[in-house]
Amino acid sequence: MTAADSNPAAILAAEAEAAAKGAAPGGPAEQAGPRGRGPRARNTRAYLQYVAGKLGGALVSMFAVLVTSFFLFRLIPGDPVKQMTGGRRVSSEQLAAMRAEFGLDDPVWQQFTDYCGNVLTGDFGTSYQFHTPVMDKITEAIGPTLWLTGTAYVLYTVIGIWLGTRSAWRNGRIGDRFHTGLALTLYSVPSFWLGLLLIITFSVGAGPLPGLFPTGGMESGDESGFAYVMDVAHHMILPVITLVAVGYAQTLLVMRSSLLDEMGSDYLTTARAKGLRDDLVRRRHAVPNALLPTVTLMFVNLGTVVAGAILVETVFSWPGLGGLFYQALSVPDLPLVQGLFFVFATAVILMNTVADVIYPLLDPRVGR
């Protein structure tokens, strides 16, 4: 027995050195085990399992949307073939030929399997009323929708976060009570009713106030170049105001509530005790943590940018996906309705999934 073997301090030092090298205590030094067994690897594995679960849930949701979009709209009363005739007298043989052309005389189960197979290839069929592929109509209408709802999305997100932060930081003051009351009121107002009110007041004119904006549409039709851009912007003002008024209210309320929950945290008291100015405490510490629920809301709202605003576009006769969906429902144009419904729902599902995947990266407590 050596002196080191009889010295407890030497034994402990040897065991610590062996543990640092990956060897078993009291035994010979062995090659370090794979790095993939550490805490970081376990967290990565848990995150990947979390992401896989969310992606699986998104696929299940999309299949449920596929089934719903096919069967739900077949409950709408009315015969789409008779609607396509425009009320003209048509023989029963001609009606039967039209039903055979669009596959409406096939059994429902066969129509459904054909529909699922076509959707997997991006084919939603041919529109009954426009006699063009559904994807062509969607591609044609998605541009105006993105211009309208995208502009409104950027505005109400920035305004909502800014006002929500100021209201929470000045909780109980006159500005906070005013913004909170206004947000609650606008959040409760139906968007189509607010749009109609704006049209009556600022397009038609009320009393001595003349009409300042167009009643609907996207363009006047006789402009080009920079004048065309200004003409479209002029037509966008009222529908954008309608969307911003409702959207900013939701963002403001969520941001305000999140920041109020953070304001009582101990780390903010510590930051103040270190001598940080109040605006630095708010900007560097409170707001980044309070933004987590708002980020989720931002991605959910981003899905509605693609989905459009059906009621607002209909009220303002905006030639986007929302107005197209309303026209398709009035027939009913089943392929077009099904295609638009699937696109709307898929956009929302994808954005929700992206929010779920990103959220654990912002807050490690989620998905672990």
Does 30 score more than 50 pLDDT?
Answer: no
Residue 61 is predicted with a pLDDT of 92
Close Cβ partners of 358 (under 8 Å, ≥ 6 residues apart): 295, 299
Which of 59-63, 105-109, 147-151 has the lowest average pLDDT? Answer: 105-109
Does 202 score more than 90 pLDDT?
Answer: no
- Which pTM was predicted? 0.74
Q: pLDDT tier at 19 (50, 70, 90 boundaries)?
A: very low
- 13, 137, 273, 280, 282 from 270: Cα distances, Å: 39, 58, 5, 13, 13
- What the block records as the tokens of 107 is 């059994």
* Look-up of token digits 């704006």: 198
In a 13 Å sphere around the CA of 54, the CA atoms on its Cβ side amount to 20
4 domain-assigned: no
Q: pLDDT tier at 36 (50, 70, 90 boundaries)?
A: very low
Q: Could you give the CA distance from residue 26 to residue 255 in angstroms, rounded to a whole number?
A: 57
Q: pLDDT tier at 32 (50, 70, 90 boundaries)?
A: very low
Q: Is 241 helix (H, G, I), strand (E, B) or coil?
A: helix
* Look-up of token digits 């800014």: 162
Does 238 score more than 80 pLDDT?
Answer: yes
DSSP string for residues in 236-267: HHHHHHHHHHHHHHHHHHHHHHHHHHHHT-HH
Going by C-alpha positions, the residue among 287, 261, 204 that lies closest to residue 238 is 204
Same domain, 255 and 223: yes
- What the block records as the tokens of 6 is 């009889």
Q: Are 26 and 12 in contact (CB under 8 A)?
A: no
CA of residue 16 relative to chain centroid, distance: 53
66 domain-assigned: yes
Which of the two residues, 260 and 272, has the higher pLDDT score? 260
Residue 153 is predicted with a pLDDT of 92
Same domain, 348 and 318: no
Q: Could you give the CA distance from residue 204 to residue 211 in angstroms, rounded to a whole number?
A: 5
Residue 194's CB is within 10 A of a number of other CB atoms, namely 20
Does 324 score more than 60 pLDDT?
Answer: yes
Same domain, 152 and 108: no
Phi, psi of 46, deg, nearest 5: -65, -40
Does 227 score more than 80 pLDDT?
Answer: yes
The mean pLDDT value for 146-168 works out to 91
Same domain, 188 and 261: yes
Please give the residue range of the domain that contains residue 66: 39-129+333-368
Same domain, 152 and 185: yes
- Examine residue 332 and say whether the peptide bond preceding it is cis (omega within 30 degrees of 0): yes
Same domain, 52 and 121: yes
Does 308 score more than 60 pLDDT?
Answer: yes
Q: Could you give the CA distance from residue 12 to residue 195 in angstroms, rounded to a whole number?
A: 78
Which of 57-61, 219-223, 228-232 has the lowest average pLDDT? Answer: 219-223
Same domain, 343 and 308: no
8 domain-assigned: no
Q: How many domains in the chain?
A: 2
Does 158 score more than 90 pLDDT?
Answer: yes
Which of 5-14, 160-169, 298-307 has the lowest average pLDDT? Answer: 5-14
22 domain-assigned: no
C-alpha gyration radius of the chain = 30
Does 262 score more than 70 pLDDT?
Answer: yes
Q: Are 295 and 360 in contact (CB under 8 A)?
A: no
Average pLDDT over the chain reads 79
3 domain-assigned: no
Does 29 score more than 60 pLDDT?
Answer: no
Residue 115's CB is within 10 A of a number of other CB atoms, namely 22
Same domain, 71 and 164: no
Q: pLDDT tier at 12 (50, 70, 90 boundaries)?
A: very low
Does 127 score more than 80 pLDDT?
Answer: yes
Q: Are 360 and 368 in contact (CB under 8 A)?
A: yes
Q: pLDDT tier at 85 (50, 70, 90 boundaries)?
A: low
Q: Is 64 helix (H, G, I), strand (E, B) or coil?
A: helix
Same domain, 233 and 176: yes
The mean pLDDT value for 142-148 works out to 89
Does 279 score more than 80 pLDDT?
Answer: no
Same domain, 324 and 365: no
Which of the two residues, 82 and 107, has the higher pLDDT score? 107
Q: Could you give the CA distance from residue 169 to residue 290 in angstroms, rounded to a whole number?
A: 12
Residue 86 is predicted with a pLDDT of 62
27 domain-assigned: no
Does 349 score more than 70 pLDDT?
Answer: yes
Q: pLDDT tier at 364 (50, 70, 90 boundaries)?
A: low
Q: Could you give the CA distance from residue 17 to residue 127 in angstroms, rounded to a whole number?
A: 75
CA of residue 85 relative to chain centroid, distance: 38
Q: pLDDT tier at 359 (50, 70, 90 boundaries)?
A: confident
Q: Could you give the CA distance from residue 366 to residue 224 in angstroms, rounded to a whole number?
A: 51
- What the block records as the tokens of 324 is 């197209």
Residue 207's CB is within 10 A of a number of other CB atoms, namely 6
Residue 56 is predicted with a pLDDT of 92
173 domain-assigned: yes
Same domain, 308 and 173: yes
* Look-up of token digits 């029963």: 92
Same domain, 74 and 44: yes
Residue 78 is predicted with a pLDDT of 65
Which DSSP letter does residue 189 get? S
Residue 157 is predicted with a pLDDT of 92
CATH, residue 145: 1.10.3720.10
The mean pLDDT value for 249-253 works out to 90
284 domain-assigned: yes
